[in-house]
Structure 1
Amino acid sequence: MAGLAAWAAALLDDPEVVVLDLETTGLGDDARIVEIGVVTTDRRVLLDSLVNPGVPMPEEATRHNGITDAMLAGRPGFDALVGDLTHALTRREVRGVGRVELFGRRVVGWNVKEFDRLVLRRELAGYYLRQGHADPQASAEAWLSTMSWEDVMLPFSNWCGEPSRHGGYRWQKLGGPHRGSADCLAVLDRLAAVAGRPAAVLPAQPLGDALTSAEEAAR
């Protein structure tokens, strides 16, 4: 477990790491994003926005995350938030006088590689299709490839060590309220537990500037 503790501590101490959480209309291949949260390891909220998916909110999804059609009415669609999301998941480095280069951040989350990243790929492909890109899927993958993606759920489940009937360890639930930035904070608390640190008592910090700062059980 020492290796897991060191891994979690390294994430928490890396100022370039951000936690991403998406709330969606469901868990299937047609899931649409209805909320995006991005939070830094020092609990600064870089993005916290409801997203109008352009389709009715299924009752089952509303029971899961509490997000209703009324809450989404008048909210921006995904296309309008691509710039903000890119900004939140990007860091900048000054190279020489007046020269700034952008780099993707290290993105972590709860089942982020097997769920959130896949949902983002579909949304981005739709965005690039509407923008007239010749190969929207390739454009979406190129966007995603600028960041690195790292799951927290499986390492945390291994750290808990609860045996599964199917072998290995049982997947653990995050235990958050199923809302974007709040679930990001819950991920940070799980990392703190693995690192052997007390959970933070600080609330989420106000919205910051990303560029100027240094299966159902899984959801």
Structure 2
Amino acid sequence: MDEQKAKQIADYIFKDVFGIENYYSLEQLQKKFAIDIPSTQKVSCTLSKKDTWTISSKENKIASQKAIADQFKKDEWMRKKKSIGSVEDILKAWDEINYLTGEKYVNSQEVAESDGIYNSASVYHSMSVFDSKNIIFSYKIFDCNYMLASRDDSSCTLGIRTKESIFCSSGFEISWSNKVSKSMYIHDGFDLYECLFCSHIRSRKYCIANMQFEKEEYFKLKNNIIKWILKD
């Protein structure tokens, strides 16, 4: 995974959600949509002195998973036995060999600038991602595909700023919802299609602020809302 591949994924999500080509850079997308999404921090690996990425940058001793594996190949992380006379001696000895592991990837491919990635592929600048693919600037994602600047979601597809939701797709600013698609600014919705700024409603389409609209007038207003969202 590199920035070019990440940009291609972001472009695909952006066009699906907003219906237009993405004209933002990756950095601009992060600042506009992911500013409040927990993200990895770049730190120096204590062992290799190279950059690594971690969920926590507060620890002084952080080593990349690769650097730790490389050290294992040299000596299996074993040391010569020395005299231990107290708990303090044990704690000191442990501190000498204990590093917080960064860039933790398990059974994952094409991952960059991320940490805590499990059974996933094509993940960029994200953390705590499980069984997912094509994830950008996101946190705590489970069994999802093509998600940008999202968090705490399961079984969602093609979302930007989707939060605490399940089985949602092609949406923007969807939160605490289930089976919502092609919608924007939805909270606590269920079984919604093409709705905007709605909360607590069920099994509806072409609604705005919990009011029913005709299809034609709905899309006219939706186009204006998209322009408003993307206005710098």
Q: Normalising by structure 1, report the TM-score.
A: 0.22
Larger RCO of the pair (alpha carbons < 8 Å, separation 6+): 1
Structure with bigger helix share is 1
Q: Normalising by structure 2, report the TM-score.
A: 0.22
